[in-house]
Structure formats: C-alpha cells, structure tokens
A and B are shown apart, each in its own frame.
Chain A
C-alpha cells in the first residue's frame, strides 16, 4: 500500500511548483473569491414568462423522448392511474414520503396500490416529486432523501416525475442558489439527479434504443397553478 499522506503531499507540492504563476497568497484569495462569488457564466437566451418557460420545457422534454402532461392539483392521482392504464401497466406504484405526494396515497388509494420507501427490484413504476424542471433542456432535477429515494429514479421500468409549474426554471444555474439556501453554503444532498428523457444506449452500431439500464419510459406531470 502506498503511503497516502506522502503521495498527497508530493502531488500537491509538484502541482504548486509547476503550475502556479502567481504568489500563493494571491492565488488563495483568487480561489476563495471565485468559490464564494458563484459567478454565473453565459446563460443561453430563453423565454422569461412562466407560460413560455413551461412551453419550452415541454418541447425540450418531448424532444428527449419524455412524455409530458399538465393537470390541476385535484386530478393528480387520476392522471397517474390513467397513465398506467394507457400503458397497460399494473395499477401499482412506489413512492417516497414527500408530503406533496400525499394525494396519491389518499385519493389514489382506491385507484391503485401505493407502496412507500426505496425501490424494490420488483417495482414496475416509481413516482417521485421533482425539485424543479429546467426549461433549457427539458430536464428535471431530483434530490435524494426519504421524500424521494434516489433509487426510484432508476430501478423501476417506468418513472413518473411530478413537478410544480412554478418550479420550472430557465437554467440549471437557478437551482444552485435554491440548494444553498436550503442546505447551507457548500452543502448538498447526497445525490442530485438531472434527468433528461428515458435511459438509452447507442452502443450497438450507433443505433439509438430507448430503455437501457434505467427507465424505459419517463413521464412528466406538471401540476398547474402549483
């Protein structure tokens, strides 16, 4: 076994002697300033109004082969169970403890079986509530935790993600301040998943096929007015 502390110091001092072009104190100040400023770079032009943003989000998500529906809050459970039926899937879902998913447990209970907790290999459909959507690329962002276990995003063959309309942001850069506010500066949940469409592979003769190791279908439900 290599001497880890020895190699650490050797690597760092080699970097220092070879790469540094400015005095150490100045570099330390630069780095500190850079990290604390959270400077945004170039944000691609995009629509500003919420309506247009949702439109762009939908268009981009569909281009990435997600399907997108919009429902009003009272219809959430029905929208999930109808989607299952349309795709000939068993009326059974797995969800986490996110309070925003409680309509699925309550009004959804007579429409389908609702299991709670992390994914089980036998699960066919997982439902989770997204932190936000990103209009720029039709991406949804999921945060790990008991509210929405990260394995629900990957293990079941079908993944339904629900996102509040008002949580559809323009750019990835708008998520970072939200996380800093919620978790503290420099802190993150164990996993943040950006998801753009169902899983896919083009590893066999460059032919794109949906449904590699992750979900085969990815359905997004936007909750209107929420």
Chain B
C-alpha cells in the first residue's frame, strides 16, 4: 500500500473530523480495555506468564537461525514446503507461482497482516486470481477497498450503517427489502456469501500466530472459524509467516497462548486454536494436498542485534493499540502504513524506513500505557525514543524544531545565562497575560494556544526567590 505516513498531520486532521470514525472509535475505548483488565485480574499467574513469554521469545531471537532451520526440516519431513522470502515482492512471487502451478482461480484468505505488507490482494488480482478475505472484518474492508485499521479488529473504524450500505452495494443478487438493521442479520448474510467462496476456493492462505520448531507446525488463532475453513477445504494451504513467529516447543507455545487472547480480546482462549502440520496424511479424508510455508524477512533480520530486537517479540495481540490515547483519537489509518498504533510506530520505521515514517515515533505522548499492557513486555516507549535518536542523528528532525531545541539546550547547560534569559522570557510572557493574539507569534506558544490558553506565570522564579530568602 502507498505509504502516507509523511502526511500524518493531514491524515490526523481528516480523522478528527470524520464523524463515522469518531463514533466507531468510541467502542474501542471502552470495550477492549475492560475485558483485558478483567481477564488479567482473573489469572493470578498472569504477570509471571508475561515474564515467561518474554524470556521464551528472547531465547528464540538469540537462536533464531537454528530454530528456523529445525522448523524447516520438520515441515519437509512431514511433506510440506518452506520458502524463504527476503522481501515482500519475493513472497508475492512465491504465492503466485504456487497458485499458477495448481491453476488456481480463487483464493480464500484468513487474516494475515503480512499479506498486507506484501500487498498480496492487488497483486493476485492483476494476474487474474480472485482473493477473498474471509474474516468478517477483512471482508468488510475488502468490499470498501480499504486496509485494516487495527491488527486484530480490521474494520473497527467502520460503523454498522456503513457495513449495511456496503453489503447492499455488493450483494445485489439478494432481495432489496431483506432485514439488515441488526449486526446478526449482517453476519448471517456474510456467512452465507462466504460459505460459497470457501467451497469454490482452490488455494487457502492463512497467516500464523506461531510456528513450532519441534514439530514443524504452524498455528492460527481465530474466533470465527474462517481460518479453518480456509485451510481445510482447498487443495493447497499456504501459510504466510514472518521469521520471528517461531517458538521451540508445544510447551512454549502453550505459555504464550495464555497471554495472547487475554491481552487481545480478554478471552481466556480464542474459540479456535489450530495446529497444522504438513499436508493431509494418506488416510485423512480431508485437509489440503499441499502445505507451504512462506517465511518472510522483509527487514526483520536487520532488527536483530540492534536496539529494536525486542520488537520482534511482538505477538500481534493489539493491546498497545487498544490502550493508546493517540490511537483512540485518530484510528489506525492516519498512521499511514500497515501497522498502526504503538507497535506500528516502532515496527514501520524498521520495515519501511525512518525517512518516510519519522512522524510515527514522534506522535506519542510517552504515556507508557502500551508497555504497561504489552504481554511480551516490549519497552515500546523506549524504542520510540530510539527512533527519535536515529532521526536526530540523521538530521531528519525538522530544522526549526532542531534549532529551538539546540537553543534551549544551550541555555539549559549554562545555569547563569539560563536564569537571566528565562527571567526576561517569563516577564514578557507574564505581560502578555496568556493572550492568544499576542502569544501566537512565539515559537511553540502559537501551536499551544490554538486550542487552549497558556496559563500565565505567577511571576518571579522559585530558585531566585528561595535564594533571596523567601519561604512562602
């Protein structure tokens, strides 16, 4: 997808004025947060499990090459195929090759953020293959020609009325007067339409929540069951997975599972956790004849050994989005690339380049709520700050901002001059009395007073008054 992060401020301006979006975002603010808190509170071992989950992934990242090799050999042993894709475009090509070889016309898809990174849908369409998103949220946004605005709730920005209108437009063969005023009837309609697609599909593509090195197994976690119909009905199952999804054993996966659903939706366990190993066995009555895993790097291996390595622990639960005040205010699309919210603001610069995504790590208040809820204890604010450091080092910080900062730091390092300078500045500010008209000309203060007053200083500095003997 075209990256619009450089025009983040413009995106924000639009998002804040989008009534439908603002209405939809209200549901995020209340729902997810309460449910996660209740689920975490109900499990006394939750915090210890978070530590354990973090340690498991840290161990994996230090030995990622070995675990991936083991995973590959196990997949092969079970009759499956592993493909290594250095870039998104390599991965797209691999999917296309498989589809062409089996003469695929229609492809069903379970939810996969990597497929967004690969821009797979548009690519397959170009080659005459019809991709059908089967997760309800993904289906809705596919009809709308949009991208997910949330990593686990892709259509969270869409209201029910919008879904109804989209379905009316798309499902023209259905009676015009059918009841469509409840989410239930809309879901039923989608179920019926997609049922047909599941049966017709030649290839099913899913993502992976985990890969297990011990057994060569890929795992998907869903609530709808769409991923299972996607992977068990067509002749070919393709798994799209990024490198860091691998864990050593079934036991390790079980540990991380306990924090995944609780952090994501507040469920103890999602409805369907599906472990797939190789293609169908000779005696199996169902399941795919072919099983392919495409391992996508796309910049991730370059994060290893850097200050951004911890980000590769991410299990895509979405808790950091759900708890982010910035995400709540603007929704996911304003971020301008595949991954929104705090995890996206760390990951997107690594995958798409800081030059284009510099706004993202800066657009955070550092409130720290993301880190507080991250099941994998990823220090998100710290890594956002690391991106700001990279940006500063590379002189990507806007020049005016850099000048102001440098000027301020120059004073801050010289206490004597700082005292004099700030006395003059404060006296001026005091005289202006918080007047919006006059303050607008000052750097910073102008932006501040757009939407709020600037409280006037009381007068005099504390340090000088204290040292002059004043005590109250």
Contact = CB atoms under 8 A, between A and B. Distances in A.
Contacts of B52: 41-42
A146 B59 CA distance: 38
A35 B216 CA distance: 12
A145 B284 contact: yes
The A interface is mostly helix, strand or loop, or mixed, namely: loop
A28 interface: yes
Contact of B272 (A4, A7, A39, A195): A195
B412 to A, nearest CB: 37
A117 interface: yes
Contacts of B87: 2
Interface string B28-51: 100110000000000111001100
A38 interface: yes
Given A188-B277, A202-B153, A176 B250 contact: yes
Given A137-B269, A150-B232, A42 B153 contact: no
B170 interface: no
A151 B233 contact: yes
Contacts of A121: 195, 199
B125 interface: no
Contacts of B226: 212-214
Contact of A201 (B44, B63, B223): B223
B27 interface: yes
Interface stretch (B11-19, B253-261, B330-338, B439-447): B253-261
Contact of A154 (B213, B229, B273): B229
B183 A204 contact: yes
Contacts of B225: 154, 199, 212-215
Contacts of B66: 27-28, 31
Contacts of A207: 160, 183
B113 interface: no
A58 interface: no
B281 A190 contact: yes
A209 B187 contact: yes
A31 B63 contact: yes
Contact of B136 (A12, A151, A206, A212): A212
Interface stretch (B203-211, B297-305, B388-396): B297-305
Nearest to B52: A41
B59 A34 contact: yes
Contact of B62 (A21, A139, A188, A214): A21
A86 interface: no
B214 A8 contact: no
B274 to A, nearest CB: 5
Interface in A191-224: 191-207, 209, 211-215
A91 B403 CA distance: 79
A195 to B, nearest CB: 6
Interface stretch (B78-86, B355-363, B425-433, B448-456): B78-86
A192 B367 CA distance: 41
B85 A2 contact: yes
Interface residues of A, number: 81
Interface stretch (B2-10, B68-76, B378-386): B68-76
A14 interface: yes
Contacts of B267: 64, 196
A213 B224 contact: yes
Nearest to B265: A202
Given A27-B63, A41-B49, A213-B194, A11 B287 contact: no
Nearest to B303: A18
Contacts of B287: 144, 150, 190-191
B250 A38 contact: yes
B251 A176 contact: yes
Contact of B224 (A149, A151, A189, A201): A201
A133 interface: no
Nearest to A145: B284
A22 interface: yes
Interface string A69-101: 000000000000000000000000000100000
A44 interface: yes
A34 B248 contact: yes
B354 interface: no
Contact of B257 (A172, A188, A204): A172
A62 interface: no
B187 A212 contact: yes
Interface in A132-191: 136-137, 139, 144-146, 149-151, 153-155, 171-173, 176, 179, 186-191
A119 interface: yes
Given A11-B301, A151-B232, A173 B215 contact: no
A96 B233 CA distance: 17
A53 interface: no
Contacts of A117: 285
Given A19-B61, A137-B268, A194-B269, A119 B184 contact: no
Contacts of B69: 12
A199 B97 contact: no
B235 interface: no
B297 A11 contact: yes
A195 B272 CA distance: 5
Contacts of B295: 11
Complex A-B, nearest 5 residue pairs according to Cβ-Cβ distance, in ascending order: A214-B225, A212-B224, A203-B137, A18-B305, A2-B90
Interface of B: 24, 27-28, 31-32, 43-45, 48-49, 52, 56, 59, 61-70, 74, 78, 83-87, 90, 93-94, 97, 134-137, 140, 153-156, 158-160, 163, 183-184, 186-188, 191, 194-195, 198-199, 213-217, 223-226, 228-229, 232-233, 243, 248-252, 254-255, 257-258, 265, 267-281, 283-287, 295, 297, 301-302, 304-306, 309
24 contacts: A4-B94, A7-B297, A12-B68, A16-B65, A31-B248, A34-B59, A42-B48, A96-B285, A137-B268, A149-B284, A176-B249, A186-B74, A186-B214, A192-B275, A193-B272, A193-B273, A199-B223, A199-B224, A199-B272, A203-B140, A206-B27, A209-B184, A213-B198, A214-B228
